[in-house]
Copies of this chain bind each other. A is one copy, B any other.
């Protein structure tokens, strides 16, 4: 999948530590996820037509490198897994030098807006997710996927 999300760190995202604030990484990943949701066919018109949307159930971020104001970044997407109503998605954020600066692992769920609860993806959407999953299936599992937070002691 060649689809990527590109952005530059605006001044408003920089905190007292002089770097992109942790919550703004989440914002960038959230905007990128919205772009991905559009990409698989669930743009505003489709969400309205299907009465269907996507909720985030769970996220896990690894902060690997600082980002400063004005620095460009690019986010790539990997469908690690999916079922009838969930997508296990992994996003990688790279700086202009190509260094991995942060990752987001997340579980998304398709929601029937009328019922306000999880419901199977519309057929065309599931086909698109399946296509991406098949295309990426051979790729290595990202190092930051499946992590548990904790202090390891010898």
Chain A residues near B (Cβ < 8 Å): 16-17, 21-23, 26-27, 29-31, 44, 47, 53, 55-63, 81-83, 86, 88, 105-107, 145-151, 153
Contacts and interface: CB of A to CB of B under 8 A. Distances in A.
Contact of A57 (B27, B30, B63, B81): B63
B55 A62 contact: no
A147 B148 contact: yes
Contacts of A58: 60-63, 147, 149
A23 to B, nearest CB: 4
Contacts of A61: 58-60
Nearest to A144: B58
15 contacts: A17-B53, A22-B26, A23-B29, A23-B31, A26-B26, A27-B27, A56-B63, A57-B62, A57-B63, A58-B149, A81-B150, A86-B151, A88-B149, A107-B150, A146-B150
B88 A151 contact: yes
A106 B149 contact: yes
